[in-house]
A and B are shown apart, each in its own frame.
Chain A
Amino acid sequence: MTGFFRRNGIVISTYLLLAVFVWVAIMIVLPQAYMLDFSFRFNLPPGKIGGPEDVYTLKNYRYLLFGRPGDEAMFNVLHLTVFLRTIIASIFVTLINFAICYPIAYYIAQVAKGGQARALILILILPFWVNEILRAFAFRILFGTSGVINAFLQTFGIIDQPIDFIRADIALYAGLSYAYILLMVFPLYNAIESLDHNQVEAARDLGSPWWRIHWRVVMPHAKPGIASGCTLVFMLTAGALAAPQILGGPSSFWFTQIIYRWFNTGGNWPQGAAYAIVLLLACLIFVLTVMRLFKVSLGEIAK
């Protein structure tokens, strides 16, 4: 510690420590601690907060699992279904993202020449200067029954009747996949870029077909980047709100939308907090399990 101060000087050292402390404590730990605390409390009117009725309870968590006491059904089927579907759909979106981004990242990192690679990266980044909500609405216009895609398909006589992409959730998955695509491309690009191209050529020279080169040489090398990209996309997709709100069909509810309703229209913060904590934990457990399966450590992801 004294070494740290001597190296950087009093002013800079104090600033660095303070900045890290503020970041971790105020931006990360405190809000989450509050949420955790909220999730174990009753939803009381302001007057009763801090009073004798303000005690800890498991009621909010029980509600997600079993619904209201006295309900006919054993479990809170509606919310649990939405929860499971959100997780599974997020996995699906993550896989789609990986399938789309891996070839792009490989091309930019290993195949494209300098100027071409920079141009491609710019093309990828530019659309993200547009606000997330605007992008979601743009997708709505694209996929609407009288939207560009339907118009195109009808003009060329591929379909007679417009397809309801929104009801079929195609718009939702497309929008979600697109929303966080950069967070998949860049970790992949960084990881693949550091691979010595001679290794690709060596594998090819030894007789390897292209898919085996990727399976045995490129992907193992890029594993930390793959893990990092997939984690980011999965977490953010599971926690997305704008895209499901704007592009979701009437039958597809995203778990975040339920949380949003508890906080907003429902006015029940403790209930919302409990749901949010469950989502957070589920995501964490899922990500850590996948990382263990693929033998990636947290340190590698941060590389």
Chain B
Amino acid sequence: MSADVDLDHVTIRFGDFTAVQDAHLGIKGGEFFSFLGPSGCGKTTILRAVSGFLEPTEGDVRIGGQSMRGIGPNKRPTALIFQNLALFPLMSVADNIAFGLEVRGVGKAERRKRADELLDLIALQGQGDKKVSELSGGQKQRVAIARALAVEPEVLLLDEPLSALDLKLRQHMRTELRAIQQRVGITFIYITHDQGEALTMSDRIAVMSQGVIQQVGTGADVYENSQTSFVASFVGENNPFVGRITAVDSNYAVVESTFGPLRGRNLSGLRTGDQAMLFVRPESLSYLNGGTVPENTIQSTVVNSEFEGSFFSVFLQGEGSKSIVMSMTNSGDLPAFEQGAAATVGFQADRAVVLPVGEVADE
């Protein structure tokens, strides 16, 4: 069973501080939905409101169409996986997994049977009698998932559960989490500040900043068609160019930047004369010395380049000491980017977005 989760104009305040401002969105049953944002953006607060550990100041949380106001966390059809997992160290692995069943008055034998089934699901067969402290980080992670799934929740809430793992394991667990979600088919709400996690696992993502949901969409949508300057700068790398709009035609706008006029897609209906930011991604820039000239060109000098394995990051400096990042696939026939060398780079108007001036995420 999976349930829809609706945030109906949810606002959460702590005293004078507004942690979440008018969050309004619907999460479909069976969806893998992520809240992505820097720490302090209010994403954990939303999760706590869904799990029932705090009540919205205004608005309502509905699960399966039912208002959750006044219903405690122990009565909601949700299960939460904590950032530090919060496994019970004094209980065996099987007792941990079966705790929710014990609470529900399920008999000992039945509990053990269910725990063993779940241990199969998370590939920890026969490890039920171990102590939690005997497990590795990744195994603990999986036990926490099994413990939450044991109560057959309609919605599973995950609060940055992978942040304590090392890189390799984290990447492995992404795939595993996604696979588990597809197997059990329930709604997953995932909280993270790691865009890689959000982009790889989620059906849809809500990007948050300072308590406000900036954009909701699929990973590709949020990445390619960012609607605010924050989303454009927070999700993935981006190069912003600030200037006044000098011309608007159908879905495009021209921004008069320090590098001259640059043209990009006008997604938010900006008009001539508006102050705007044009964003172009490092991988959308191409190195033009001697090659064909696309509609937007930028003159710059090479500062340095970094070898990243599958690609190079080339740091350029343009007019007014503005730094630009370009990434180039390690195709084997790249020129040597020598410091101080002149570089002409360019991009297609379709690969750039023009947005209203706003908050930019700092790296």
Within the complex, the shortest CB–CB distance from A204 to chain B, in Å, comes to 5
Q: Interface digits, B53-83 against A, CB 8 Å rule (1 contact, 0 not)?
A: 1000000000000000000111100111011
Complex Cα distance A206/B52, Å? 12
Chain B residues near A207: list those with CB within 8 A.
Answer: 74-75, 100, 103-104, 151
Complex Cα distance A231/B99, Å? 31
On whether the beta carbons of B53 and A201 are closer than 8 Å, the reply is yes
Determine which of A201, A208, A220 lies in contact with B82 in the assembled complex, contact meaning CB atoms within 8 Å: A201
With A204-B74, A206-B79 as known contacts, state yes or no: A212 contacts B103, CB within 8 Å: yes
On whether the beta carbons of A205 and B90 are closer than 8 Å, the reply is no
Complex Cα distance A206/B74, Å? 6
* A203 nearest CB neighbor, chain B only: B99
Within the complex, the shortest CB–CB distance from A87 to chain B, in Å, comes to 31
Complex Cα distance A198/B79, Å? 13
Within the complex, the shortest CB–CB distance from B143 to chain A, in Å, comes to 12
Q: Does B51 contact A (CB under 8 A)?
A: yes
With A203-B99, A204-B73, A208-B103 as known contacts, state yes or no: A221 contacts B90, CB within 8 Å: yes
Complex Cα distance A217/B100, Å? 13
Number of A-B residue pairs, CB cutoff 8 Å, is 59
Complex Cα distance A202/B140, Å? 15
Chain A residues near B88: list those with CB within 8 A.
Answer: 199, 202-203, 216-217
Chain A residues near B86: list those with CB within 8 A.
Answer: 196, 198-199, 201-202
Chain A residues near B87: list those with CB within 8 A.
Answer: 202
Q: Does A209 contact B (CB under 8 A)?
A: yes
Q: Does B84 contact A (CB under 8 A)?
A: yes
Chain A residues near B142: list those with CB within 8 A.
Answer: none
Within the complex, the shortest CB–CB distance from B195 to chain A, in Å, comes to 25
Complex Cα distance A208/B91, Å? 15
Q: Does B147 contact A (CB under 8 A)?
A: yes
Chain B residues near A208: list those with CB within 8 A.
Answer: 74, 99, 103
A-side binding surface: helix, strand, loop or mixed?
helix
On whether the beta carbons of A205 and B51 are closer than 8 Å, the reply is yes
Chain B residues with a Cβ closer than 8 Å to the other chain, count: 26
* B95 nearest CB neighbor, chain A only: A216
Complex Cα distance A116/B46, Å? 27
Complex Cα distance A207/B53, Å? 12
On whether the beta carbons of A205 and B73 are closer than 8 Å, the reply is yes
Chain B residues near A212: list those with CB within 8 A.
Answer: 103
Chain A residues near B73: list those with CB within 8 A.
Answer: 201, 204-205
On whether the beta carbons of B78 and A205 are closer than 8 Å, the reply is yes
Within the complex, the shortest CB–CB distance from B142 to chain A, in Å, comes to 16
Complex Cα distance A202/B74, Å? 9
Complex Cα distance A198/B100, Å? 15
Complex Cα distance A274/B84, Å? 56
Complex Cα distance A209/B88, Å? 16
Complex Cα distance A198/B48, Å? 12
Of B51, B82, B103, B147, most buried by chain A (CB within 10 Å of CB) is B103
Complex Cα distance A202/B52, Å? 12
Chain B residues near A220: list those with CB within 8 A.
Answer: 90
Within the complex, the shortest CB–CB distance from B228 to chain A, in Å, comes to 33
On whether the beta carbons of A202 and B72 are closer than 8 Å, the reply is no
Q: Interface digits, B316-343 against A, CB 8 Å rule (1 contact, 0 not)?
A: 0000000000000000000000000000
With A212-B103, A221-B90 as known contacts, state yes or no: A205 contacts B74, CB within 8 Å: yes
Complex Cα distance A203/B148, Å? 10
With A198-B84, A199-B86, A201-B82 as known contacts, state yes or no: A216 contacts B99, CB within 8 Å: yes
Of A201, A207, A221, most buried by chain B (CB within 10 Å of CB) is A207
- Within 171-212 of A, Cβ neighbours of B (below 8 Å) are at 196, 198-199, 201-209, 212
Complex Cα distance A217/B90, Å? 8
Complex Cα distance A205/B75, Å? 8
Complex Cα distance A15/B300, Å? 73
Complex Cα distance A220/B90, Å? 7
Complex Cα distance A206/B88, Å? 12
Chain B residues near A216: list those with CB within 8 A.
Answer: 88, 91, 99, 102
* A210 nearest CB neighbor, chain B only: B74
Within the complex, the shortest CB–CB distance from B281 to chain A, in Å, comes to 38
On whether the beta carbons of B74 and A209 are closer than 8 Å, the reply is yes
Complex Cα distance A201/B73, Å? 9
Within the complex, the shortest CB–CB distance from A199 to chain B, in Å, comes to 5
On whether the beta carbons of B151 and A206 are closer than 8 Å, the reply is yes
With A199-B88, A201-B53, A217-B88 as known contacts, state yes or no: A206 contacts B99, CB within 8 Å: yes
Interface residues in chain B, defined as those with a beta carbon under 8 Å from any beta carbon in chain A: 51-53, 72-75, 78-80, 82-84, 86-88, 90-91, 99-100, 102-104, 147-148, 151
List 20 additional A-B contacts (Cβ < 8 Å) besides A201-B73, A203-B88, A204-B72.
Answer: A198-B86, A199-B86, A201-B80, A201-B82, A201-B86, A202-B82, A202-B88, A205-B52, A205-B73, A205-B78, A205-B79, A205-B80, A206-B148, A206-B151, A207-B74, A207-B151, A216-B88, A216-B91, A216-B99, A217-B88
Which 10 interchain pairs have the tightest Cβ spacing? A198-B86, A206-B100, A202-B86, A207-B103, A208-B103, A205-B80, A207-B74, A220-B90, A198-B82, A205-B73
Complex A-B: 6 CB contacts under 8 Å? A204-B72, A205-B74, A205-B80, A206-B151, A207-B75, A207-B103
